[in-house]
Amino acid sequence: MKEILDAILSSDSTAADFAAIKLPESYRAVTLHKDEEQMFAGLASRDKDPRTSLHLDDVALPELGPGEALVAVMASAVNYNTVWSSIFEPVSTFGFLERYGRLSPLTKRHDLPYHVLGSDLAGVVLRTGAGVNAWKPGDEVVAHCLSVELESSDGHNDTMMDPEQRIWGFETNFGGLAQLALVKTNQLMPKPAHLTWEEAASPGLVNSTAYRQLVSQNGAGMKQGDNVLIWGASGGLGSYATQYALAGGATPICVVSNDQKAEICRAMGAEAIIDRSAEGYRFWKDENTQDPREWKRLGGRIRELTGGEDVDIVFEHPGRETFGASVYVTRKGGTIVTCASTSGYMHQYDNRYLWMSLKKIVGSHFANYREAWEANRLVAKGKIHPTLSKVYSLEQTGQAALDVHQNKHQGKVGVLCLAPSEGLGVRDAELREKHLPAINRFRDI
């Protein structure tokens, strides 16, 4: 591993140097163990501690298949899917690996008694498989997490529609929270040159998801002047949704749960902010009954902030707790676009407000190849910025996942894998200098 790291840290390593490095037989990786999938049985979600289920193990280097790349991972990031995997909710991810393993002899590699997690990476290509021409050893890359087989015509217009669509490092093995990772080469994208490894590794999953959900015609198709209600506006997804709304000439109405998060939204440029804790919204009277007066109170607050207008789009992901309110506050003809259900997936809303006011509910999930590429391009151009707040070592990934599980984090939480320290990997100092305050926004608060 030292030889790999030395080559990456040296400024004059060539593709031939990387290709000549002898690969190790094993590498360090953050794993879940299949024989522990029942370890939290009977516990409430909040009591399930990722520090006990996530391990740092030596695992065998997987065989490289056609169209794939082995990447030396300098940095990765924690996503909420790391939390779901680590608490085995709503299902154990080993079921995904078993199902994937039944597809072909090559996918069988993924069905192991351990699961290497992680759906983001920034690093350097070490080897490419048969049939790969666009990438070579030594290329500095980030990887998006869309894994598709593309053998069915269903996915040929929109790769998210592939029947064998999976999220790498969640529904497949050999993810990014490790020293090395295995990806399909059409997941690879150029690493933004003005960012450090840990900054470059942090947007991937959430940035691409927010792009499809809010900007793309496959999602809400946001346009200039739209009012966009963004739940969790300083969180992983929300911190990108807020940037897209501002960059696209829309008005974000940012919902957060404390002053510090409100401050971050202001630093991004948002003016309309709702502190859901301070304002004490209680959309549910009890477990089964919602309180429409509370929906109305939220709608009234939104009108106060917008000069009397309702929202064109609601950027939804909390799910059960907020969905009834989201449907209510959307303007006539508006869109509620949802990609998740953090607080519960059995949603309840009053359908009269949907059909009578001709509103739409749109489901959105990650991003297709092109959307992921476009979202990364915007980061590379310095138009959308990473929202990295804190960086942990690979050994501390359990703590990093616990922070996200307990909603104690801001924006994104990074993880150093092979990178020996933060701050490395910047290739375009001039572009970085121009955007430094924006890049550091989430760190400074």
Residues that bind ligand NAP (CB under 6 A): 79-81, 84, 205-206, 209, 231-232, 234-238, 255-257, 261, 276, 317-318, 321-322, 339-340, 342-343, 365-366, 404, 407
What is the C-alpha to C-alpha distance for residues 384 and 378, in angstroms, rounded to an integer?
Answer: 6
CB of 232 to ligand NAP, least distance (A): 2
Identity of the residue numbered 406: Q
Give the H or E element holding residue 264: helix 259-268
CB of 364 to ligand NAP, least distance (A): 7
CB of 257 to ligand NAP, least distance (A): 3
* Smaller CB separation from ligand NAP, 124 or 402: 402
* Smaller CB separation from ligand NAP, 136 or 390: 390
End-to-end CA distance of the chain: 35
| Contact (Cβ atoms closer than 8 angstroms) between residue 81 and residue 206 | no
CB of 206 to ligand NAP, least distance (A): 5
* Smaller CB separation from ligand NAP, 123 or 318: 318
The candidate with the shortest Cα–Cα distance to 79, out of 417, 371, 363, 400, is 400
Helices (H), 68-191: 80-86, 94-101
* Smaller CB separation from ligand NAP, 118 or 318: 318
What is the C-alpha to C-alpha distance for residues 319 and 341, in angstroms, rounded to an integer?
Answer: 4
* Smaller CB separation from ligand NAP, 73 or 145: 145
CB of 234 to ligand NAP, least distance (A): 6
* Number of alpha helices (DSSP H) and beta strands (DSSP E) in the chain: 15, 20
* Smaller CB separation from ligand NAP, 184 or 212: 212
Give the H or E element holding residue 167: strand 166-167
What is the C-alpha to C-alpha distance for residues 235 and 411, in angstroms, rounded to an integer?
Answer: 4
Q: DSSP per residue over 174-239, as a string? A: S-SSBSEEEEEGGGEEEPPTTS-HHHHHTTHHHHHHHIIIIISTTTT---TT-EEEETTTTSHHHH
What is the C-alpha to C-alpha distance for residues 337 and 323, in angstroms, rounded to an integer?
Answer: 10
Phi, psi of 283 (to 5 degrees): -70, -20
Burial of 90 (0-12, 13-18, 19+ CB in 10 A): exposed
* Smaller CB separation from ligand NAP, 197 or 240: 240
Residue bearing tokens 């065998």? 60
CB of 319 to ligand NAP, least distance (A): 8
CB of 356 to ligand NAP, least distance (A): 26
* Smaller CB separation from ligand NAP, 26 or 45: 45
β-pair type (284-286, 140-143) = unpaired
